[in-house]
Chain A
């Protein structure tokens, strides 16, 4: 999101992960591996309080996600309060749990925008990747979103198994008269971390994908906006993750844990506050978890003395932890990091992983196996 000129350190973006429940089983899901053990979801009254308190601190963009947020029967109530408070609300959905009638109710409650995710351009691959039959319903929902007067925003998560399908993906988006299409390469957290070697596209695939995206961008200029996000493993500088820790993003997990980003709960040795025990003001401004990597004081070399640190904030803390075992290291995507070799090794490992190797789908059985 662009926040040109906005004052720093306000939770401008509130991501409300309403639930980890989801009927789909995407192997790149960013939910934690032990999502099945986190059952104690916040009730409606607590979510309403969270919305009010974050808005008072300046939150303006609200993401309603999950899991599948439409599994929450109180979605309409939360949307209505969000609208009353002045949020711009974004529903990030797989489409499952919605129908034209419910979209109408959400619209009446004041929902501003719906983003529908697809896994691929056709039923067979889509439903294989989703681990369930969902494609036809997604098409219906995409059309219903448009018919309700919303801009149509489609999201495709790209990886080795569907990136070569991009031409068909964009043809489908054009046929559906999408207004925005987000082509985001899977980022390696949560389930995608477990499947990384199987999901990472090759350099050649990325180059082909980019050429296809650019051709469609030129063809549909002014009609459909196409965003193409490449995986940072192929870069030499990290992304400015979350625009800096505790800078503008506040995530509330389904159980009320407050996080500077939705992957942060996997970082060891940090404790994150819960909205059941603390107000958002304290959580954002005072809690040790939100201050741990705020600003530049926590940095080690090479970041500490680097003249680029104000641009990327040393990259992603979760990626630093996953690749080096230490969250206060430079993000190893950076080629100034002494651990950059681990990113290159990951690319190598992916290249030598056959596509026949099965993907590990996000489901309760695999969750039990992986989280012990």
Chain B
């Protein structure tokens, strides 16, 4: 995976006050996200590649080993069609 990462067309990431969580919305579907998943997706805004996303998260959570979790999540999110790398 190289290139900058952003949400696939038709996907929307937003905070849902009524559910007290972030969700990912797409044609006729919705996934409720836990806090780590939301933190990663927040950074998938087309301005960073995978390494950049990890660096940004690492800066926010210093001292925590994040690399494996972030890469695994990005892989799964790609497989599910949530993300595009351009």
Q: How far is the CA of A6 from the CA of B20 in the complex (A)?
A: 10
Shortest B10–chain A CB gap in Å is 4
Contacting residues, chain B, for A115 (C-beta < 8 A): 27-28
Known: A6-B30, A7-B19, A86-B14. A61 touches B25 (CB 8 A): yes
Q: How far is the CA of A155 from the CA of B29 in the complex (A)?
A: 16
The dominant DSSP class at the A interface is loop
The dominant DSSP class at the B interface is strand
20 contacts between A and B (CB under 8 A): A1-B30, A6-B19, A6-B30, A6-B32, A7-B19, A10-B18, A10-B19, A12-B30, A58-B18, A60-B16, A86-B16, A88-B25, A88-B26, A88-B30, A112-B10, A112-B12, A112-B25, A150-B9, A151-B27, A153-B27
Contacting residues, chain B, for A10 (C-beta < 8 A): 18-19
Contact of A117 with B by CB under 8 A:
no
Contact of B3 with A by CB under 8 A:
no
Shortest A93–chain B CB gap in Å is 13
Interface residues of A in 118-169 (CB under 8 A from B): 149-151, 153
Q: How far is the CA of A149 from the CA of B14 in the complex (A)?
A: 21
Interfacial residues, chain A to chain B (CB-CB below 8 A): 1-7, 10, 12, 56-58, 60-61, 63, 86, 88, 90, 112-113, 115, 149-151, 153, 179-180, 225
Closest to B14 in A: A86
In the complex the two chains form, is B27's CB within 8 Å of A90's CB? yes
Q: How far is the CA of A56 from the CA of B16 in the complex (A)?
A: 10
Contact of B36 with A by CB under 8 A:
no
